C-alpha cells in the first residue's frame, strides 16, 4: 500500500523530513516486531535483539537499538534502504566487529552512538560513507588502537568521544594526535591507558616524539587478521607445527578453537589469551612450557578442553586454573609434575577427565587431597596417574591407593620437589649472592661485592686491564677494590 508523506509524518520532530519529502507517496514498510514506531522514530531498545531488523520504514530518521545483544554490524546494504536516517543509537550492546563499509548509504547520519560495546579497535573502513556525521560516541569500549585514516571521510565531525577506552599510546597512534590537532575538533575525549608514563594523558596533547614503540608494540590488526604462520578458518585458528617460540599476538577475539601444539613455546602469556572469551578448546601439547602461573586462564570461562600434555611442566600454582568453570577435560599428561597444591581444581565445576599420567608424582600427605578428590567425585576420570615416590608409594595408582597411604615421614618434601615451584629453594646463587625468583622458573642473582656472573660464580679481578698508570703495580684488595 502506498502512503503519502502527509499521512505518516505528523509527529513533533518530523517537520523537517515532512517538508523535504512533501507530496511524495512511498511504500513505507511496516513497523518491525517487536519495535515501536512513532512517526519517523523507530524504537527497538531493550528487546534482546541479536541483529538489526531488516524491514524498517524507509522514512526512519531516528533508530534506537540500545540495550540489546547485537554482536556484529554487517555490511549488508541495510542503510542504503534508510536514506533519511540521522540518529542511530547502538549503545550498550555486545558489538565486537563492524564490517568494512557497514554504514554505506547512511549519508544523512549526523549522530552515531556506539558507547558501552566491546570494540577492540577502529579500522579505516569502519565509518566509510558517513559524510555528514557530527557526533561519534565510542566511549566505554575496549579500543586500544585507531588505524590511520579511520576518520578521514568524516568531513563534518565535531565530537569524537573515546573516554574509557584502554588506548595504547605507542608509535602507531602518533598519527591520531597529529590529526586531532590539525582538525581542531573541540569535542574529542580520549586518554592514554599505557605506557605508564603517559597514563591518563590526553591523546591530543602528547607531542609526536613521545609516541614510542618497543618490540611488543602492535598497531591495529584489522578484522580479517590471522597471526603469521597460522591458518584461520571461521572461528578455528591452527598454529600447529609452526616453529613458534611464543603465543602469537592478535589472535581473533571470536576464536573458539586454538591449536598451538608441536611448537617451542616456553611461556604462556595471559595477555595473549585473555580476550578469547569464546574459546572452547586450547591445545598447547608438545611445547616447552615449564610452569602454569596463577590466573593464566582467568578470562576463558567457556573453555571446555585444555591440553598441555608433553611439555616440561614442573610447577602448577594453586590459582593457575582459576576461572575455568566450563572445563570438562584437562590433560597434563607426560610432564615433570611432582605435586599439585590443594585447591587447584576448586573452580573446575564441570570437570570429567583429568589426565595426569607419566608424571613423577610425589605421593605424600600434600597429595592426599587429590587422592580423596578423585575418589569422592565419581564423575571424574583420573586416567592412569601413578605415584613415583616415596618408595613405599611407587607405581601405585592415584585412583586406587588408599588416602591413608599418603603420609609425610619428614617435615619437608625433598629439595628437588620443592625447587620445582621455588627455584631459589636450592640456593643457586654462589658466594652469598641473593636469589630473586622470576617468572617461569627463571631467577636472578644479586651478587655480593667482589663477584659477578649469572650465579655470582666469578670473582671480580679489579686489576684486570692494569688500571694503574706510570708503570704502577696493581694489588687486589677486598670486594673488588684495588690499590
pLDDT digits (tens, 9 = 90+) for 191-204: 999 889 999 999 98
| pTM attached to this predicted model | 0.66
- Nearest residue to 356 via CA among 323, 401, 310, 318: 310
SS (H, E, C) the chain: CCEEHHHHCCCCCCHHHHHHCCCCEECCCCCCCCCEEECCEEECCCCCCCCCCCCCCCCCCEEECCCCCCCEECCCCHHHHCCCCCEEECCCCCCCEECCCCCCCCCCCCEEECCCCCCCEECCCCCCCCCCCCEEECCCCCCCEECCCCCCCCCCCCEEECCCCCEECCHHHHHHHHHHHHHCCCCCECEEEECHHHCCCEHHHCCHHHCCCCCCCCCCCCCCCCCCCCEEECCEEECCCCCCCCCCCCCCCCCCEEECCCCCCCCCCHHHCCCCCCCCEEECCCCCCCEECCCCCCCCCCCCEEECCCCCCCEECCCCCCCCCCCCEEECCCCCCCCCCCCCCCCCCCCCEEECCCCCEECCHHHHHHHHHHHHCCCCECCCCEEEECHHHCCCECCCCCHHHCCCCCCCCCHHHHCCCCCCCCCCCCCCCEEEECHHHCEEEECCCCEECCCCCEECCCCCCCCCCCCCCCCECHHHCEC
Domain range for 462 = 434-480
CA atoms of 166 and 145, how far apart (whole Å):
9
- Nearest residue to 428 via CA among 405, 403, 446, 408: 446
- Cis omega (within 30 of 0) for bond into 293: no
- Cis omega (within 30 of 0) for bond into 195: yes
pLDDT in tens, the chain (483 residues): 344 544 444 444 455 554 455 555 444 668 999 999 999 999 999 999 999 998 899 999 999 999 999 999 999 999 999 999 999 999 999 999 999 999 999 999 999 999 999 998 999 899 999 999 999 999 999 999 999 889 988 999 999 999 999 999 999 899 998 888 888 777 778 899 988 999 999 998 999 999 988 766 777 776 678 999 999 998 999 999 999 999 998 898 889 999 999 999 999 999 899 989 899 999 999 999 999 999 999 999 999 999 999 999 999 999 999 999 999 999 999 999 999 999 999 999 999 999 999 999 999 999 999 989 888 865 677 678 899 999 999 999 988 889 899 999 888 888 888 888 877 766 778 887 787 877 767 778 888 887 888 888 888 766 655 667 666 777 766 654 545
- Does any domain span residue 400? no
- Does any domain span residue 368? no
Check: CB of residue 68 under 8 Å from CB of residue 44: yes
- Nearest residue to 135 via CA among 95, 100, 187: 187
- Does any domain span residue 413? no
- Does any domain span residue 322? no
Q: Final residue of a domain: which of 179, 210, 241?
A: 210
CATH code where residue 204 lies: 3.80.10.10
Check: CB of residue 91 under 8 Å from CB of residue 69: no
C-alpha cell at 202: 590526553
- Does any domain span residue 249? no
- Does any domain span residue 297? no
CATH code where residue 462 lies: 2.10.25.10
pLDDT, position 429: 83
Residues 6+ apart with CB under 8 A from 261: 240, 241, 283, 284, 285, 286, 287, 307
Using alpha carbons only, give the angle 399, 331, 443 rounded to the nearest 5 degrees: 105
- Does any domain span residue 347? no
Q: Final residue of a domain: which of 141, 175, 210?
A: 210
- Does any domain span residue 165? yes
Q: Final residue of a domain: which of 210, 227, 250?
A: 210
CB-count burial class (<10 Å; 0-12, 13-18, 19+) for 213: middle
Check: CB of residue 63 under 8 Å from CB of residue 85: yes
- The count of structural domains within the chain is 2
Amino acid at each position: 500500500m502506498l502512503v503519502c508523506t502527509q499521512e505518516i509524518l505528523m509527529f513533533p520532530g518530523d517537520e523537517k523530513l515532512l517538508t523535504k519529502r512533501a507530496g511524495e507517496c512511498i511504500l513505507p514498510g511496516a513497523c518491525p516486531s517487536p519495535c515501536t514506531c512513532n512517526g519517523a522514530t523507530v524504537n527497538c531498545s531493550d528487546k534482546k535483539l541479536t541483529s538489526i531488523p531488516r524491514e524498517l520504514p524507509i522514512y526512519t530518521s531516528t533508530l534506537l537499538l540500545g540495550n540489546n545483544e547485537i554482536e556484529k554490524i554487517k555490511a549488508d546494504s541495510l542503510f542504503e534502504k534508510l536514506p533519511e536516517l540521522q540518529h542511530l543509537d547502538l549503545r550498550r550492546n555486545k558489538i565486537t566487529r563492524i564490517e568494512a563499509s557497514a554504514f554505506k548509504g547512511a549519508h544523512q547520519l549526523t549522530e552515531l552512538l556506539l558507547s558501552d560495546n566491546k570494540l577492540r579497535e577502529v579500522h579505516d573502513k569502519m565509518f566509510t560513507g558517513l559524510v555528514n556525521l557530527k557526533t561519534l560516541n565510542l566511549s566505554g569500549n575496549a579500543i586500544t588502537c585507531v588505524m590511520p585514516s579511520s576518520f578521514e571521510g568524516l568531513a563534518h565531525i565535531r565530537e569524537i568521544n573515546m573516554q574509557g577506552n584502554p588506548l595504547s599510546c605507542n608509535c602507531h597512534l602518533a598519527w591520531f594526535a597529529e590529526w586531532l590537532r590539525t582538525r581542531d575538533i573541540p569535542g574529542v575525549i580520549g586518554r592514554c591507558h599505557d605506557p605508564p608514563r603517559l597514563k591518563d594523558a590526553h591523546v591530543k596533547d602528547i607531542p609526536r616524539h613521545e609516541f614510542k614503540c618497543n618490540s611488543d608494540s602492535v598497531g591495529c590488526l584489522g578484522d580479517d587478521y590471522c597471526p603469521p604462520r597460522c591458518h584461520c578458518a571461521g572461528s578455528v585458528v591452527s598454529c600447529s607445527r609452526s616453529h613458534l617460540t611464543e603465543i602469537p599476538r592478535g589472535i581473533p577475539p571470536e576464536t573458539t578453537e586454538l591449536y598451538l601444539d608441536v611448537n617451542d613455546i616456553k611461556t604462556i602469556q595471559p595477555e595473549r589469551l585473555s580476550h578469547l572469551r569464546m574459546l572452547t578448546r586450547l591445545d598447547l601439547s608438545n611445547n616447552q612450557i615449564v610452569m602454569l602461573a596463577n590466573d593464566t586462564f582467568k578470562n576463558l570461562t567457556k573453555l571446555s578442553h585444555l591440553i598441555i600434555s608433553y611439555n616440561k611442566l614442573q610447577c602448577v600454582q594453586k590459582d593457575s586454573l582459576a576461572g575455568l568453570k566450563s572445563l570438562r577435560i584437562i590433560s597434563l599428561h607426560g610432564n615433570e609434575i611432582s605435586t599439585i597444591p590443594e585447591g587447584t581444581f576448586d573452580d573446575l565445576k564441570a570437570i570429567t577427565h583429568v589426565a595426569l599420567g607419566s608424571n613423577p608424582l610425589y605421593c605424600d600427605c600434600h597429595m592426599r587431597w587429590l587422592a580423596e578428590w578423585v575418589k569422592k567425585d565419581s564423575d571424574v576420570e583420573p586416567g592412569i596417574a601413578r605415584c613415583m615416590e616415596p618408595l613405599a608409594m611407587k607405581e601405585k595408582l592415584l585412583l586406587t591407593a588408599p588416602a591413608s597411604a599418603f603420609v609425610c615421614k619428614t617435615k619437608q618434601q625433598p629439595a628437588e620437589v620443592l625447587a620445582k615451584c621455588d627455584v631459589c629453594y636450592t640456593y643457586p646463587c654462589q658466594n652469598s649472592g641473593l636469589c630473586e625468583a622470576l617468572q617461569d622458573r627463571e631467577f636472578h642473582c644479586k651478587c655480593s661485592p667482589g663477584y659477578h656472573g649469572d650465579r655470582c660464580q666469578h670473582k671480580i679481578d679489579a686489576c684486570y686491564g692494569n688500571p694503574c698508570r706510570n708503570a704502577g703495580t696493581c694489588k687486589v684488595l677486598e670486594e673488588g677494590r684495588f690499590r
